[in-house]
């Protein structure tokens, strides 16, 4: 198969190098490379490392070790690590290609996602390379604390929350296990907004991360691709074939910036490729010569807008033209790159689906499906049937949300004008699908219409994703079941084997070993350190749940972590929560379905209880929140205001403030989460059952020994299976009960009328806190003005939530029992490792093995 343009000489070389192997022979993975290890050893040498840092300081920053400040040192050290990774990557490239050519058991895995919430990289890379001590040695001489150096690095906040952080954890797991993987995303100039709280309100500020974050970006100007938008499109028949012409499209250049991804104890270095948009005709010389300076550069600006900023909404599509442009820009550049790499290595597209797995993370990159069709058919002359066979056997899709309002739909007129050729291909996919569906469900036009891609002048991206993928998965058992029973039920009936589950997981090295080194050392002491790479080993820690020495240590480690968090809160907010109070943490995006409001209502009732019983004997409680709201999400912003006003009133009321504290952590991010998770006693996972696809914060707190109070939602269900019902506090309706209760007509007012404690808390909203009244929230809970009153059923679950908290408080007082539970939670977090998730994906979906051992 030849591209209509010329074939490069490297294509030809590659063809000669192909030695297809017969299936079924041994394991394909290569041993870790000696070359990679040699590079690591060289950089681990303190003298060599220091010399490199000094060189960077003098040559680039014009300073030296003695005079450089912490920020300059962070840059120099990161730059040296990045250089080391570049050298390792070169070696790894040779190895992975040679394995790929020698076996059909490995594939190149492409993980395409609009978001990668990477956080900070230096500490993680040093840990993975085993070079933390080398750097610590150097810093000691200079009298600098390692954490101070790490905190010079701005978070790469190129994501909103769960979806983006999952993608980042997966890159770590893919690399640690030696899979040949590349992530594709956008190089947003501004990541997720920085949140400030001003008089209780969330105010958004731009996140200008590049000045400090750029050290990890490797620009590859030599590897740019061109993406076309708009243009005049005409289809016509010639020699019995449908052809088309596209004139005057607007072209944009996609410039790649690569971030090297390290894994633990491996010489594999994968990459995350971020595309940055640049105008191809960067300057209008004519306009310039005519003295029209502003217009001369105007085009440039419009192209560069594409990767200017991350859309800050999760679970609510914006439906904006620019967002669609971002999606196609990322997809087109990535697909062109993937096809080019395939041809370089194999010289043919025939084995594409056998050597390539493309994963679309939620529907945002779904245009991969028509874009690959376009490239195969238009650039390589492939026929429809063959192209469709290859594409639909290459692409797989993960769904991350069942919220109806979050399912993406694009206006057909917009898609057609922005991407006329792609739209035409989508029409053809739709036409063929309808014929097939009609055959499966004869006579049922309603069903066919409902399942098809085009309808109501919209392109339904979820339908396109299911139709164009060979596997579709949800992210927890419950969620995957809901996909089969409800969201994608008809597709499931038509093709049950297409649907599967892969429960989410988290990077243990980041979320336990690095963020809670004391707990990790205790586990090492008890069961050895194998669990760091083989998560299933962590289970062995459960054997120590009644060991008094271990329980006391667990208690002390938690308290130390709480002191550390308290000091951080003091530094940033000016008051220090009591480390002997219970730290009850709810940290996640602000969303109605996650029910921070339910938590708030209970805090209000606690507040009132203490006011009424000033002498009450209770363990002090500290409620800690971290949450960003989408800037246009009215309800969510009001809940943030409520939490902050509540905090202000409670923390400043001497009658309660020694018993109750409320902390709203500003600007919740990956790096604040790393400080927060190890200090949590209680993990609040209280979404309305059936709404939270999985949750991953629940796993992060669990592995750090926090006890969950939660509903039977998302991965909480599996957490309960893992630890047993006696080591978790479950309350509230099940997903089925929610469904039934909503169908039979939920009446929140009746619930309110019959529970005096709840009534008092809700009524208190009208008086408000710190001078701000919240009768709008009371209205939302009781009056069916917009949709139904209390749509996420906070009132319905309130009583049982309070009951569960009472049980929990009693358990907390029995310190041995509590620490027993804590050890059980850490140990059985074993199954929530991203390494395990990735193994599941590789086995069930991608059908690929690692290229390195």
Percentage helix, strand, coil, to 5, in the chain?
55, 15, 30
Q: Does 835 bind ligand 26W (CB under 6 A)?
A: no
3 state SS of 637: helix
Residues 739-778 that bind ligand 26W (CB under 6 A): none
Query: Is 252 or 630 the residue whose CB approaches ligand 26W more closely?
Result: 630
Active site (annotated) includes residue 711: no
DSSP assignments along 158-225, one per residue: ES-SHHHHHHHHHHHHHHHTT--EEEEEE--SB-SPEEEEETTEEEEE--B-HHHHGGG-EE-GGG-E
Which of 75, 108, 273, 589 is the catalytic position? 589
Candidates 302-310, 687-695, 730-738, 785-793; binding stretch for ligand 26W (CB under 6 A) = 687-695
The C-alpha atoms of residue 730 and residue 716 are separated, in whole angstroms, by: 9
The answer to whether 400 contacts ligand 26W (rule: CB under 6 A) is: yes
> Which residues in the 501-520 window bind ligand 26W by CB under 6 A?
504
**DSSP string over 322-390:** HHHHHHHHHHHHHHHHHHHHHHHHHS-STTHHHHEEEEEESSTTTTHHHHHHHIIIIIH---HHHHHHH
307 binds ligand 26W (CB under 6 A): no
C-alpha span between 569 and 666 (Å, rounded): 10
Closest CB to ligand 26W among residues 39, 693? 693
Q: How far is the CB of 480 from ligand 26W (least distance, A)?
A: 11
Residue 779 CA to residue 738 CA, distance in Å, equals 21
Beta-strand relationship, 218-219 and 250-262: antiparallel
What CA–CA distance (Å, rounded) separates 771 from 131? 53
Q: Per CB under 6 A, does 408 bind ligand 26W?
A: yes
Site membership for ligand 26W, residue 80 (CB under 6 A) = no
CB of 315 to ligand 26W, least distance (A): 5
Cβ contact 95:851 at 8 Å = yes
Encoded one letter per residue, x for contact with ligand 26W by CB under 6 A and - for no contact, window 528-567 reads: ----------------------------------------
853 is catalytic: no
**Quick one: which of 694, 825, 826, 833 contacts ligand 26W (CB under 6 A)?**
694
- Is residue 473 part of the contact set for ligand 26W (CB under 6 A)? no
57 binds ligand 26W (CB under 6 A): no
- Is residue 700 annotated as part of the catalytic site, yes or no? yes
Q: Which is nearer to ligand 26W, 448 or 465 (CB)?
A: 465
- Which one of the listed residues 273, 498, 700, 836 is annotated catalytic? 700
Catalytic residue among 96, 400, 471, 764: 400
User: Which residue in 120, 124, 182, 315 binds ligand 26W (CB under 6 A)?
Assistant: 315
696 part of the interface to ligand 26W, by CB under 6 A:
yes
Q: Which of 588, 628, 635, 831 is catalytic?
A: 588
Per CB under 6 A, the segment of 135-143, 514-522, 693-701, 761-769 that binds ligand 26W is 693-701
DSSP string, 667-722: T--HHHHHHHGGG-SEEEE-PPTT--S--SHHHHHHHTTPEEEE-S-TTHHHHHHH
Is 693 a binding residue for ligand 26W by CB under 6 A? The answer is yes
Q: Which of 107, 116, 250 is nearest to 171 (CA)?
A: 116
Q: 59 CB contacts (<8 Å, ≥6 apart)?
A: none
Q: How far apart are CA 108 and CA 105, in angstroms?
A: 10
Q: Dihedrals φ, ψ of 533, to 5°?
A: -110, -20
Stretch that binds ligand 26W, among 159-167, 191-199, 431-439, 632-640 (CB under 6 A): 159-167
Closest distance of CB 114 from ligand 26W, Å: 8
Contact pattern for ligand 26W over residues 111 through 150, marking x by CB under 6 A: ----------------------------------------
Q: Facing residues of 459 across strands?
A: 410, 454
313 binds ligand 26W (CB under 6 A): yes
**Neighbour count for residue 558 (Cβ, 10 Å):** 25
Q: What is the DSSP code (8-state) at residue 772?
A: B
C-alpha 809/C-alpha 825 separation (Å) is 17
> Catalytic one among 672, 696, 708, 711?
696
- Shortest reach from residue 837's CB to ligand 26W, in Å: 10
Is 778 in the active site? no
Active site residue 602: no
Residue closer to ligand 26W by CB (options 315, 469) is: 315
Show contacts of 574-581: CB within 8 Å, 24+ apart: 575/651, 577/622, 577/624, 577/661, 577/663, 578/620, 578/622, 578/658, 578/661, 580/620, 581/619, 581/620, 581/621, 581/622, 581/661
State yes or no: is 588 an active-site residue: yes
User: Residue 708: which of 735, 734, 690, 726 has the closest Cα?
Assistant: 726
Is the Cα dihedral 38, 41, 42, 43 positive or negative?
positive
Shortest reach from residue 318's CB to ligand 26W, in Å: 7
Name which position in 153, 207, 314, 718 contacts ligand 26W (CB under 6 A): 314
Looking at residues 485 to 504 of the shown chain, list those that interact with ligand 26W (rule: CB under 6 A): 504
Assess 673 for contact with ligand 26W (CB under 6 A).
no
Number of residues that bind ligand 26W (CB under 6 A): 23
**Cα torsion angle, 122, 126, 132, 135, sign:** negative
Taking CB under 6 A as the criterion, the residue among 163, 373, 467, 689 binding ligand 26W is 163
Q: Between residues 399 and 848, which has the closer beta carbon with respect to ligand 26W? A: 399
CB of 710 to ligand 26W, least distance (A): 12
The distance of closest approach from Cβ of residue 692 to ligand 26W in the complex, given in angstroms and rounded to an integer, is 5
Neighbours of 725 (CB within 10 A): 9
162 is a contact residue toward ligand 26W (CB under 6 A): yes
Pick the closer one to ligand 26W by CB: 577 or 626: 626
- The two three-digit tokens of residue 394, written as one number: 């290459």
Strand partners, 227: 252
Q: Which one, 189 or 713, has the nearer CB to ligand 26W?
A: 713
Site membership for ligand 26W, residue 406 (CB under 6 A) = yes
Q: Which is nearer to ligand 26W, 313 or 576 (CB)?
A: 313
Give the whole-angstrom CA distance, residue 241 versus residue 235.
10
Q: Which of 434, 437, 431, 342 is nearest to 394 (CA)?
A: 342
Closest CA to 699 of 664, 731, 673: 673
Using CB under 6 A, which of the segments 96-104, 207-215, 309-317, 578-586 binds ligand 26W? Answer: 309-317
CB contact burial 579-599 (16+ within 10 A = b; e otherwise):
bebbbbbbbbbbbbbbbbbbb
Among 166, 519, 686, 851, binds ligand 26W (CB under 6 A): 166
312-320, 642-650, 769-777, 804-812 -> range binding ligand 26W (CB under 6 A): 312-320
In this chain, which stretch among 40-48, 419-427, 639-647, 689-697 interacts with ligand 26W, using CB under 6 A? 689-697
Candidate residues 256, 714, 732, 850; the one interacting with ligand 26W per rule CB under 6 A: 714
Nearer to ligand 26W, 160 or 733 (CB): 160
Q: Would you please indicate which residues are annotated as catalytic (active-site) residues?
A: 400, 588-589, 594, 696, 700
Residues that bind ligand 26W (CB under 6 A): 160-163, 166, 313-317, 362, 400-401, 406, 408, 475, 504, 692-696, 714
């Amino acid at each position: 198969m030849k591209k209509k343009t010329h074939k490069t000489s490297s294509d030809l070389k590659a063809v000669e190098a192909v030695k297809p192997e017969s299936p079924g022979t041994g394991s394909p993975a290569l041993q870790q490379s000696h070359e990679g290890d040699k590079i690591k050893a060289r950089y681990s040498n303190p003298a060599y490392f220091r010399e490199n840092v000094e060189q960077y300081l003098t040559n680039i920053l014009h300073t030296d070790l003695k005079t450089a400040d912490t920020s300059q040192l962070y840059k120099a050290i990161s730059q040296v690590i990045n250089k080391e990774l570049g050298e390792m990557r070169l070696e790894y490239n040779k190895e992975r290609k040679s394995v790929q050519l020698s076996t059909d058991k490995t594939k190149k895995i492409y993980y395409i996602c609009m978001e990668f919430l990477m956080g900070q990289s230096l500490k993680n890379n040093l840990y993975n390379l085993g070079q933390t001590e080398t750097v610590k040695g150097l810093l000691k001489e200079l009298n600098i604390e390692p954490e101070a150096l790490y905190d010079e690095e701005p978070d790469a906040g190129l994501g909103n929350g769960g979806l983006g952080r999952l993608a980042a954890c997966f890159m770590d797991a893919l690399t640690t296990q030696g899979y040949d993987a590349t992530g594709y995303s956008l190089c947003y100039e501004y990541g997720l907004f920085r949140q400030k709280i001003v008089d209780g309100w969330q105010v958004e500020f731009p996140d200008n991360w590049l000045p400090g974050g750029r050290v990890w970006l490797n620009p590859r100007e030599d590897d740019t691709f061109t993406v076309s938008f708009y243009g005049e499109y005409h289809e016509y028949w010639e020699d019995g074939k449908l052809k088309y012409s596209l004139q005057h499209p607007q072209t944009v250049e996609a410039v790649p910036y690569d971030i090297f991804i390290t894994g633990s104890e491996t010489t594999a270095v994968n990459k995350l490729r971020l595309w940055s948009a640049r105008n191809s005709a960067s300057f209008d010389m004519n306009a310039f010569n005519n003295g029209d300076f502003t217009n001369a550069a105007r085009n440039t600006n419009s192209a560069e807008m594409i990767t200017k900023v991350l859309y800050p909404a999760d679970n609510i599509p914006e439906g904006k033209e620019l967002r669609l442009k971002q999606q196609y820009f990322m997809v087109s550049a990535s697909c062109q790159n993937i096809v080019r790499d395939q041809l370089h290595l194999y010289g043919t597209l025939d084995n594409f689906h056998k050597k390539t797995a493309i994963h679309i993370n939620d529907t945002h990159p779904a245009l991969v499906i028509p874009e690959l069709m376009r490239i195969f058919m238009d650039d390589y002359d492939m026929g429809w049937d063959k192209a469709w066979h290859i594409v639909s056997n290459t692409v797989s899709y993960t769904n991350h949300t069942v919220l109806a309002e979050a399912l993406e739909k694009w206006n057909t007129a917009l898609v057609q004008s922005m991407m006329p050729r792609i739209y035409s291909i989508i029409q053809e996919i739709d036409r063929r699908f309808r014929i097939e569906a009609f055959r499966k469900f004869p006579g049922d036009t309603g069903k066919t219409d409902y399942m098809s891609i085009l309808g109501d002048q919209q392109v339904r991206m979820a339908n396109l994703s299911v139709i164009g993928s060979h596997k579709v998965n949800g992210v927890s058992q419950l969620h995957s079941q809901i996909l089969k029973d409800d969201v994608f039920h008809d597709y499931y009936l038509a093709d049950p084997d297409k649907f599967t589950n892969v429960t989410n997981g988290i990077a243990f090295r980041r979320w336990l070993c690095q963020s809670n080194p004391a707990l990790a050392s205790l586990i090492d002491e008890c069961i050895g350190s194998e669990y760091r790479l083989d998560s299933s080993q962590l289970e062995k820690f459960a054997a120590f749940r009644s060991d008094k020495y271990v329980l006391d240590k667990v208690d002390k480690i938690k308290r130390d972590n709480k002191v550390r968090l308290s000091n951080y809160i003091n530094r940033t907010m000016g008051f220090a929560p009591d480390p002997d109070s219970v730290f009850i943490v709810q940290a996640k995006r602000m969303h109605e379905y996650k029910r921070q409001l339910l938590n708030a209502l209970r805090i209000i009732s606690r507040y009132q209880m203490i006011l009424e019983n000033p002498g009450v004997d209770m363990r002090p409680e500290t409620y800690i929140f971290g949450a960003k709201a989408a800037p246009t999400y009215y309800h969510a912003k009001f809940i943030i205001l409520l939490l902050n006003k509540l905090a202000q009133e409670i923390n400043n009321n001497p009658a309660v403030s020694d018993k109750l504290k409320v902390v709203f952590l500003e600007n919740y991010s990956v790096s604040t989460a790393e400080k927060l998770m190890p200090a949590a006693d209680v993990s609040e996972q209280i979404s309305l059952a059936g709404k939270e696809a999985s949750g991953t914060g629940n796993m992060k707190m669990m592995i750090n020994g926090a006890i969950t109070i939660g509903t039977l939602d998302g991965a909480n269900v599996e957490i309960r299976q893992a630890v047993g019902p006696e080591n978790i506090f479950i309350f509230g309706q099940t997903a089925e009960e929610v469904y039934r209760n909503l169908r039979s007509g939920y009446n929140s007012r009746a619930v309110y009328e019959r529970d005096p404690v709840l009534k008092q808390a809700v009524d208190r909203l009208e008086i408000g806190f710190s001078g701000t009244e919240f009768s709008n929230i009371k209205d939302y809970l009781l009056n069916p003005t917009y949709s139904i009153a209390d749509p996420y059923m906070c009132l319905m679950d309130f009583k049982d939530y309070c009951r569960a908290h009472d049980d929990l408080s009693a358990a907390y007082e029995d310190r041995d029992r509590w620490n027993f539970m804590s050890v059980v939670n850490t140990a059985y977090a074993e199954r929530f490792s991203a390494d395990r998730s990735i193994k599941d994906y590789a086995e069930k979906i991608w059908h690929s093995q690692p290229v390195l051992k």
